[in-house]
Amino acid sequence: MPAVPSAGSFSIVILIDIAQLTDEGRRVVGEEPANLLGLDGDPVVSEAGPIRYDLTVEPAGDKLIVRGEAEASLGFHCSRCDKFFSTTVRVSSFLHTYEWAEHSAMLDVSADVREDLLLEIPGFPLCRADCKGLCPQCGQDLNEAACDCSPATDGLSPWSALDGWAVKPASKPAAGKPQADSR
């Protein structure tokens, strides 16, 4: 995952003017450059387009409720075949509350939009669900063509050492004697 910049290090901000807020709330739609996500130098994911958002701010007593959607176009390296592909990550249920007293003029939701979008980045990005990956012997992209490598026939796998492992049942303590503490 990318390094997390401090809250004050954003050069791009999503500000909502609270002075224009009515009792019914206020809809805010916009787009900001994707560098808000702070993905510079990340080897797996990069910005591929702007961050788009459609948010509604509503007063609720001494709180401000912000709900809506946000999305960002991102580029990834597939975890199986290492090809670059683009997709859109979406937050379809953005929901945060803020203290009205702390945000009397402007409300900055940048950090929360950023965090919610970063949480949607897959930990194991795939270019497609049925990606076959690379041949572990020759490196051929198996999505493009099969390779001439023969599958391992020696029967040994990293797990073969466990094939003969047998679990022995724990012995029961003699009647009336306490069992030793296994810590």
Number of domains in the chain: 1
| Predicted confidence (pLDDT) per residue in 156-167, tens digit | 677 777 777 877
Per the domain annotation, does 36 fall within a domain?
Answer: yes
Give domain status of residue 128, yes or no: no
In this predicted model, what pLDDT tens digit does every residue of 64-99 receive, in sequence order? 999 999 999 999 999 999 899 999 999 999 999 998
Domain assignment present for residue 133? The answer is: no
2 in a structural domain: no
Kindly provide the residue ranges of all beta strands, DSSP E only, lying in 61-83, ordered along the sequence.
63-77
Would residue 98 count as lying in a domain?
A: yes
pLDDT at 144 over 60: yes
Q: Domain for residue 144, yes or no?
A: no
Distances (CA, A) of 122 to 44, 78, 131, 137: 10, 11, 15, 27
User: Is residue 60 in a domain?
Assistant: yes
Look at residues 4, 141, 18 and name the one whose alpha carbon lies nearest to residue 80.
141
Q: pTM above 0.75?
A: no
Residue 56 lies in a domain: yes
Domain span at 91 = 7-119
